[in-house]
Amino acid sequence: MSGSDLASAPPYPDAFTRAEVGWIPNLAPLAEDELTGRHLDGLVDASRAKSDYFRLLARDPEVLRARTLVDKDIFYNVADGLPRADRELAAAAASRRNGCVFCASVHARFAAHHGKRPDDVDRLLAEGVDADLGERWNAIVAASVALTDTPLAFGADDVRRLRDAGLDEGEIADVIHGAAFFNWANRLMLSLGRPVAPAEG
């Protein structure tokens, strides 16, 4: 990249934030007018055609469809199990640990909104995964971090701590699903592009 290209490149974020972070791909996504019925089926939601990220993943639409349905089931199917805020916290904690500023911003916004605890979410973003958020959220963050570092680091002590914090078996499974999915999703997003600082103002 030339000096002029570097000078005009969008800036990286300088901190974790709940503000809307952008993302630019390293590889060319499909153009919107290139999307076929097969691609749109893979996107699941037609509105995702506006996203560079999802149009890039749409190059393999069957895999994208499977990924999206898993994502939706983990985070939106809340008739039973963990409340939405706690699911989003698990994703935000994994993203904070992995250094995925984009994903951390998205899931921190959802955790703050659904949990009505923006100060605690901001503490997680600013201080990292060792921030004190109260024992229930501390247990969720610790379990998410263990899974993020390596699945073998997650074990009986993490499950016991989640139980002691009041989570039942279904809720513990939801923590595992949210953290594990975003542990994978972060690595995909970090490999395929980079975050862009939120617009000022």
Token pair, residue 171, equals 């809720």
In eight-state DSSP terms, residue 29 is P
Q: Which percentage of the chain shows pLDDT scores above 70?
A: 96
pLDDT of residue 2 exceeding 50: no
Task: Tell me how far apart the alpha carbons of residues 54 and 58 are, in angstroms, rounded to a whole number.
Answer: 6
When pLDDT is cut at 50, 70 and 90, the band that residue 6 belongs to is: low
Q: What is the mean pLDDT of residues 3-26?
A: 86
Q: What is the mean pLDDT of residues 29-48?
A: 97
Q: What is the pLDDT of residue 200?
A: 72
Residue 97: HSE in the Cβ half-sphere, 13 Å Cα cutoff: 25
Residue 189 near residue 52, CB atoms below 8 Å: no
pLDDT of residue 102 exceeding 90: yes
Q: What is the pLDDT of residue 5?
A: 55
Residue 96 near residue 129, CB atoms below 8 Å: yes
Average pLDDT of every residue of the chain: 94
In eight-state DSSP terms, residue 79 is S
Question: pLDDT tens, 7-18?
Answer: 578 999 999 999
Q: What is the mean pLDDT of residues 90-114?
A: 98
Q: What is the pLDDT of residue 7?
A: 59
pLDDT of residue 160 exceeding 90: yes
Q: Side chain identity at 44, as an amino acid letter?
A: V
pLDDT of residue 51 exceeding 90: yes
Q: Which percentage of the chain shows pLDDT scores above 90?
A: 92
Q: What is the mean pLDDT of residues 63-83?
A: 94
Prediction pTM value: 0.92
Q: What is the mean pLDDT of residues 155-179?
A: 97
Task: Tell me how far apart the alpha carbons of residues 99 and 120 are, in angstroms, rounded to a whole number.
Answer: 18
